[in-house]
Structures are given as C-alpha cells and as structure tokens.
C-alpha cells in the first residue's frame, strides 16, 4: 500500500464528508420536513435542506464548524503498511485544512494556542478495528463542538433507569446541539468504554431495534424541535451500543450529533484508492 494513496484517500473522505451528507441522512431530514406540523420547525428544516443544496452545488463545507478530525479505520490484517498510518492521516488532515478548506479548530487545552492545521497531540482521533483482507477503509466523521459539548456521561446507580437518563439528557441539553439530532448511546462497559461506545454508535446510525425506536419516540415526544425552537422533530436516529459492565456499575454515555451527520468513506488497496 502506498502512503500517497492513504493521504489522498484521507483528503477526499474529509472533503466529501464536509461538503455533502450521506443520502440517507438527507432523506431522513426530507421525511421529517414532510411530516412536521410546527411552522417555525418547518422553516428551520427548509433552511437546512437549502443549506445542503448550497453546500453541494458550490462545494462548500455545510457548516463553518468543520469539526475535529475523527476517523474510523478498518485495517485489513494482511494489509502491507511500511509507513506510519497515523502520520499519513495527519498529513491528509493538514492538506484538507488548506484545500477544502477547513477551519483550524485544534487548540491546546490549557494555553488555547491553535495548531493552525487541525493536528496535534491526539489529533486526528482514530477509532481502529482490525478486519480480514488487505485493504484499508478510512471513514471521516468530522465532529463539531456544538453537538460534542452537549454530550454527557454518567456512572449511574445500577438501580437507576439509563433510558430515562438518555431522554433527560436530550430534554436538558439537546436544544443546543443543533437538532434534529442523531443520539449515540454507550451503555455499560467501563467509564471510558461507555464514551467510546457512544461515539461508535454514531457510525452505525440510524438504529432500528425496538429499544432504539422506543427511545426515538420518547425523545421526539419532548417537543424540543429543530434548533430547540419547538416542533415534532427532535431526533432523526438513536443508536445504542452495549457492553457488559461491573455488577456494581451502570455507565451510560450520550454522544449528541447534529443534523449534519457528516460521514464519508475511502478505501485504499494495493493498487490505489477509491471513494464510495
């Protein structure tokens, strides 16, 4: 596998993610618009659909908060890599920052000094899974602060109701996260594991299990509405990822995602790269 292919594939996945939405996300927003009964909510959903159109036709980032670079990496166990994958992805982020362009968002947490290119310690953030085969799959999931800031984690008492916690989190914080939302839920595991699961849940949207659909209905019955200004559409999808937890623990994490569920995937093989 060639390093330059990984860099190109990374830039392309970021560009695609920042300027377009997965078709199924736009379909969900369109369906919500068709079903919405509140006039202000309708006005916001129409504005969102017009923005998606404007971004796609002019090749512009949908949102000025082009987010922090998060990647889900599927690495083939037989992939032939003789270079640092982390460094190649960081180079892709630096190039995308200039070429898409992206807003420089990565700062040191104490000095608040901006690195200027969206890279630095821990950035880009990688979620890595090993899979069969020789290919490398790069999914860009740029994550904005408006929704990330409204995310929450708690170590509940095992007798507490974690589903109630999720619905309450959206009731109290969801309006600031640019609804209609995608709500990623990490249930169980360890403290850090629950947060990681809630981020992974965003990669598997939208959920369709009875539990996920029940949560979606409960969240939508709150009436928070698009942009927190009221209406029938508060969330477009809920996904729950579970892990076993200690008998004395009940970790639950809620990773909020805005309506702009930006995601795109490039595949790198031995002979080159392509974007889905």
Partner 1 sequence: MEHRLRTPLTSEEVLLLRAGDIVWLSGTIYTARDKAHARLSSWRDLIPLEGAVIYHCGPLLSGGDVISAGPTTSGRMARYASQVVDLGVRAIIGKGGLPGAADCLRGRAVYLAYPGGCGASASGQLRVKGSFLSDLGMAESIWEMEADDLGPMVVAIDAHGRDLYEEVRTRAQERLKC
Residue 171's CB is within 10 A of a number of other CB atoms, namely 15
Instruction: Tell me the closest approach of the beta carbon of residue 79 to partner 1, in angstroms.
Output: 34
Residue (134 or 168) nearer to partner 1, CB: 168
Q: Is the dihedral of CA 126, 234, 16, 55 positive or negative?
A: negative
The CA distance from 183 to 158, in Å, is 22
163 binding partner 1? (CB under 8 A): no
Instruction: Please pick, from the candidates 23, 34, 58, 132, the single residue that binds partner 1 as defined by CB under 8 A.
Output: 58
* Greatest Cα pair distance in the chain: 57
Instruction: Decide whether 7 or 181 has the Cβ nearer to partner 1.
Output: 181
Question: 10, exposed or middle or buried, with CB in 10 Å at 0-12, 13-18, 19+?
Answer: buried
Which residue of 30, 43, 127, 267 would you call a contact of partner 1, by CB under 8 A? 43
Residues that contact partner 1, how many (by CB under 8 A): 48
Cβ closest to partner 1, residue 178 vs residue 201: 178
Count of positions (residues) in the chain: 276
- Which candidate, 238, 170, 163, 184, places its Cα nearest to that of 206? 238
Site mask for partner 1 (CB under 8 A), range 228-247, x = bound: xxx-----------------
Q: List residues binding partner 1 (CB under 8 A).
A: 40, 43-44, 47-48, 50-51, 54-55, 58, 60-66, 101-105, 112, 114, 144-146, 149, 167-168, 171-172, 175-176, 178, 221-230, 258-260
């Amino acid at each position: 596998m060639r390093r330059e292919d990984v860099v190109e594939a990374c830039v392309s996945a970021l560009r695609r993610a920042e300027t377009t939405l997965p078709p199924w996300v736009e379909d969900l927003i369109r369906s919500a618009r068709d079903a919405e009964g509140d006039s202000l909510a309708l006005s916001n959903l129409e504005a969102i659909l017009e923005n998606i159109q404007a971004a796609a036709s002019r090749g512009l980032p949908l949102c000025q908060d082009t987010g922090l670079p998060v990647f889900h990496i599927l690495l083939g166990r037989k992939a032939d890599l003789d270079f640092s994958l982390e460094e190649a992805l960081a180079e892709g982020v630096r190039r995308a920052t200039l070429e898409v362009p992206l807003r420089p968002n990565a700062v040191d947490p104490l000095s608040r000094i901006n690195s200027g290119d969206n890279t630095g310690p821990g950035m880009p953030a990688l979620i890595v899974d090993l899979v069969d085969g020789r290919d490398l799959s790069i999914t860009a999931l740029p994550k904005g602060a408006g929704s990330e800031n409204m995310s929450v984690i708690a170590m509940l008492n095992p007798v507490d109701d974690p589903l109630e916690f999720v619905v309450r989190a959206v009731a109290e914080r969801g309006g600031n996260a640019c609804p209609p939302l995608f709500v990623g839920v990490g249930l169980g595991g360890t403290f850090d594991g629950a947060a990681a699961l809630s981020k992974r849940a965003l990669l598997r949207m939208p959920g369709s299990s009875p539990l996920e659909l029940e949560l979606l209905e409960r969240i939508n019955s709150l009436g928070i509405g698009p942009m927190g200004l009221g209406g029938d559409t508060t969330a477009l999808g809920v996904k729950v990822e579970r892990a076993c937890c200690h008998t004395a623990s009940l970790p639950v994490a809620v990773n909020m995602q805005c309506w702009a569920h930006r995601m795109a995937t490039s595949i790198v093989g031995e002979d080159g790269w392509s974007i889905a």
